[in-house]
């Protein structure tokens, strides 16, 4: 079992920045990837950014604006969000991929990000 806790959400104006953090605990050896999803009202959940031991990936909508990073010593993953737009408004979820299933089986509770115009 893995527990994920997000933090750092809030309200920001268009063009501003926020930094989200995800702290992982439990059987961290059972996961081989972590990522950030987001879901806006009436829209499908989308994968924003993900990372493994040797790669990072971003959705086209956030490339050049968001940066995902990790600190293995602290078992944390961060998402630096710059040049925020109203379309970025959503609940952001931290997720982890389990090795044995190769699926995104672990989820945090989510943190709200609101970008005002």
How far apart are the C-alpha atoms of 94 and 79, rounded to whole Å?
Answer: 10
Contacts with 44 (C-beta within 8 Å, 6 or more apart), sequence order: none
In this prediction, what percent of the chain has a pLDDT beyond 90?
Answer: 93
Flag whether pLDDT at 73 surpasses 90.
no
User: Residue 79: pLDDT band by 50, 70, 90 thresholds?
Assistant: very high
How far apart are the C-alpha atoms of 103 and 110, rounded to whole Å?
Answer: 19
pLDDT: is 25 or 72 the higher one? 25
How far apart are the C-alpha atoms of 107 and 53, rounded to whole Å?
Answer: 19
pLDDT score, position 72: 81
In this prediction, what percent of the chain has a pLDDT beyond 70?
Answer: 100
Flag whether pLDDT at 54 surpasses 90.
no
């Amino acid at each position: 079992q893995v527990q994920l806790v997000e933090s750092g959400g809030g309200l920001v104006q268009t063009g501003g920045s926020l930094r989200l953090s995800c702290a992982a605990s439990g059987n961290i050896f059972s996961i081989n990837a972590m990522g950030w999803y987001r879901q806006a009202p009436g829209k499908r959940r989308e994968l924003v950014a993900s990372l493994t031991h040797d790669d990072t990936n971003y959705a086209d909508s956030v490339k050049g604006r968001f940066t995902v990073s990790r600190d293995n010593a602290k078992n944390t993953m961060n998402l630096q969000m710059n040049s925020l737009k109203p379309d970025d408004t959503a609940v952001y979820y931290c997720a982890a991929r389990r090795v044995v299933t190769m699926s995104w089986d672990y989820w945090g509770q989510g943190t709200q990000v609101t970008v005002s115009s």
